[in-house]
Amino acid sequence: MTEELERILPLVQKPGRYTGGELNSVVKSAEDVDIRFAFCFPDVYEIGMSHLGMKILYYLINEREDSWCERFFAPDTDMEEQLRANKLPLFSIESKTSLCQYDVIGFTLQYELSFSTILNMLDLGGVPVLARDRHDLHNLVIAGGPCASNPEPLCDFIDVFQLGDGEEMMNDFLDLYNEYKKRGASKEEFLRAASQIEGIYVPSLYDVTYNADGTIAAVMPRDGAPAIVHKRNVKNLDAAYYPDRFIVPFIEIVHDRVTTEVFRGCIRGCRFCQAGFIYRPIREKSPDTINNQSEMLIKNTGYDEISLISLSTSDYTGIEPLLNDMIDWTRERKVNISLPSLRVDNFSDELVEKMKLIRKSGLTFAPEAGTQRLRDAINKNITEEEILNTARIAFRGGWTTVKLYFMLGLPTETWEDVEGIINLSRKIVTEYFRMDDKPRGQGLTINVSASSFVPKPHTPFQWEPQDSRDSLAKKRDYLLEQSRVPKSHIHLSAHKINTIFLEAVFARGDRRLGSVLYEAWKSGCNLDSWDDKFQFDLWEEAFHKCDIDPEWYANRRREYDEILPWDHLDYGITKEFLMRESEKAKKSQTTDHCRIKCAACGASALNGGECGAKC
């Protein structure tokens, strides 16, 4: 394998994606372990190596004496052509071993458009793509991550889904696997036993029936599987596993820095945001833990930048004492600190002064909607004056590049709301030029991102239809035209509409979409999240061949009493709460965030009745 690999690597554009040998990678002897675990990221190396979840689980598994976790990434087109032409399998980064040689094959599900890549990686690695064709306990395929909140479109291909926090359940799962492997148990015996672990969903142990109109009639467990699968939850982030080192790539990756998680969950309750609900309840790390973990990671990697990450970093209650603790040693070592995910309503002059000491780059904020009525409908809980005041604070602090995130096609949206996006962007430009103390010698740039709304499971908008593609195209074209006005200082980008449409189909899909996914992959679909590789015509052919209407999934409103494909998977948020929030959205009524008043979403039950929001 090594000689053949050395021969083909000069023929691909980025051989550093495949060579391995990076600082802090883990190499063991296959003869010294009982379990070989393949951690598969269904995208290219630069994307996968930026993912924090992979870093946590990679080291957690490798700290077990009985296990060796190795990394697999999707090869880019040039490398795949070489592998197939030379009849070489997809191989691990660490030992260059074929995927089919592994006991457990784990995929992280970050994005619906990676689903075809999962099938391609299995096939390229010599692993049967369909779960029913994998008869032994060897090559057990598991998956977790945010898209596991509705895993039904993947049930034909995945043996086990892990719901919730992977570091909380992985050791329990591998302990059971090792026990059953040594016993020589069958795959079926293991799956029945694994279904009893909290957070483990075995789709083959559930039968789904359908009504005449295509909706789900029932989801029925068998062989002792639980009727409802509850997600697994880390209760104390200070005590949770976190590595003291990261692998340092030889090539530049998307997020080429140390990342330290400051808290998990979100207090805000934006009604479109799946992450804000499925990662509840809120759990914060202490400033001491974050500071110590950050310093150790810098020491063991040599990076010169730390990113303090969460869904809303400026909502971290200890942000100022944390930055005070970190500034001394980071300035001494010339290490930058970046704060992504800042909120408009708590971006203060004090925070600006801290940020001027640690980093000066573009700022990103997410108004999401252009009018107050629609911001209230989605429960954004920020006013136009707060947005403009944030812009003024940023400009006074010396920033001249600001990125604004908006969404098109949100529930209850009118054309006035679409116009509001460009109007609000122009008001921010006006604020800059009316300031006497604005930065000198730099040009103003307002980067506006207008993505399209995708209804997601476990959110108040899970019942809402996605806006039609024709309607979204008209709104996008209008914004593009308005942003091209000379000297507007507004630069607009928008997601591809067919990509967003397919995302919505699979986000709310059921098991019947497995046949479409299989047909699309067989016809050549792979790496669909990349614009230059996305082939929507092949997807349309697959839907037609399987006699499935994709618009039935993406553009249809669900009734509250309809059984949804994911109703048997509990992420801690009650359906009653989501319905209340849905009704309030229709009236443009807001709900206070968790630190003002508890909205009784149900998630505190996952922490024994406690919630880190501290309301």
pLDDT of residue 356: 62
Non-local CB neighbours of 296 within 8 Å, separated by 6+ positions: 244, 245
Q: First vs last Cα of the chain: how many Å apart? A: 58
Asked if the peptide bond before residue 281 counts as cis, ω within 30 degrees of 0, the response is yes
Cα–Cα distance, 356 to 233 (Å, whole number): 36
Q: How confident is the model at residue 608 (pLDDT cuts 50, 70, 90)?
A: confident
Tokens 């630190």, residue?
Answer: 595
- DSSP E strand stretches across 351-487: 363-368, 401-408, 445-452
- Average pLDDT estimate for 406-425: 97
| Number of Cβ atoms within 10 Å of the Cβ of 561 | 6
Range in 275-279, 304-308, 329-333, 344-348 the model is least confident about? 344-348
Q: Are 355 and 397 in contact (CB under 8 A)?
A: yes
Q: How confident is the model at residue 352 (pLDDT cuts 50, 70, 90)?
A: low
Q: How confident is the model at residue 607 (pLDDT cuts 50, 70, 90)?
A: confident
Q: Are 305 and 312 in contact (CB under 8 A)?
A: no
Non-local CB neighbours of 404 within 8 Å, separated by 6+ positions: 364, 365, 366, 367, 424, 425, 428, 446, 447, 448, 449
pLDDT of residue 66: 98
Is pLDDT at 287 greater than 90 in this prediction? yes
Do the strands 336-338 and 263-264 form a parallel or antiparallel pair, or are they unpaired? unpaired
Q: What is the mean pLDDT of the chain?
A: 94
- The phi-psi region of residue 537 (left if phi > 0; otherwise alpha if psi is between -120 and 50; otherwise beta) is alpha
Closest CA to 345 of 282, 272, 270, 278: 270
Q: Name which residue leads in pLDDT, 242 or 439.
A: 242
Closest CA to 393 of 340, 426, 355, 423: 355
Q: How confident is the model at residue 1 (pLDDT cuts 50, 70, 90)?
A: low
pLDDT of residue 357: 62
pLDDT of residue 571: 96
pLDDT exceeding 70 applies to what percent of the chain? 96
pLDDT exceeding 90 applies to what percent of the chain? 85
Cα–Cα distance, 187 to 134 (Å, whole number): 9
Q: How confident is the model at residue 129 (pLDDT cuts 50, 70, 90)?
A: very high
Closest CA to 457 of 607, 275, 581: 275
pLDDT tens sequence across 494-521: 889 999 999 999 999 999 999 999 999 9
pLDDT of residue 355: 63
CA angle in degrees (0–180, nearest 5) for 37-38-40: 145
Is pLDDT at 451 greater than 70 in this prediction? yes
pLDDT of residue 297: 97
Q: Are 39 and 54 in contact (CB under 8 A)?
A: yes
pLDDT tens sequence across 69-128: 999 999 999 999 999 999 999 999 999 999 999 999 999 999 999 999 999 999 999 999
Which letter does DSSP use for residue 98 in this model?
A: B
Non-local CB neighbours of 494 within 8 Å, separated by 6+ positions: 408, 449, 450, 451, 452, 476, 479, 480
At 228, list the tokens: 């409802």
CA angle in degrees (0–180, nearest 5) for 419-408-507: 170
Is pLDDT at 487 greater than 90 in this prediction? no
At 448, list the tokens: 């506006």
Q: Which residues pair with 41 in a beta bridge?
A: 73
User: Which CA distances in Å does 203 have to 508, 509, 565?
Assistant: 16, 15, 12
pLDDT tens sequence across 243-286: 999 999 999 999 899 999 999 999 999 999 999 999 999 999 99
Whole-model pTM? 0.95
pLDDT of residue 557: 97
- DSSP E strand stretches across 456-606: 490-494, 569-570
Tokens 């928008």, residue?
Answer: 494
pLDDT tens sequence across 130-150: 999 999 999 999 999 999 999
Q: Are 144 and 554 in contact (CB under 8 A)?
A: no
Q: How confident is the model at residue 350 (pLDDT cuts 50, 70, 90)?
A: low
SS3 assignment, position 471: helix
Cα–Cα distance, 611 to 615 (Å, whole number): 8
DSSP string computed for 100-143 = GG-SEEEEE---GGGHHHHHHHHHHTT--SSGGG--SSTTEEEE
SS3 assignment, position 410: coil
Cα–Cα distance, 386 to 397 (Å, whole number): 16
- DSSP E strand stretches across 469-514: 490-494
pLDDT of residue 358: 60
pLDDT of residue 441: 64
Closest CA to 262 of 239, 233, 237, 280: 237
Is pLDDT at 437 greater than 90 in this prediction? no
pLDDT tens sequence across 536-595: 999 999 999 999 999 999 999 999 999 999 999 999 999 999 999 999 999 999 999 999
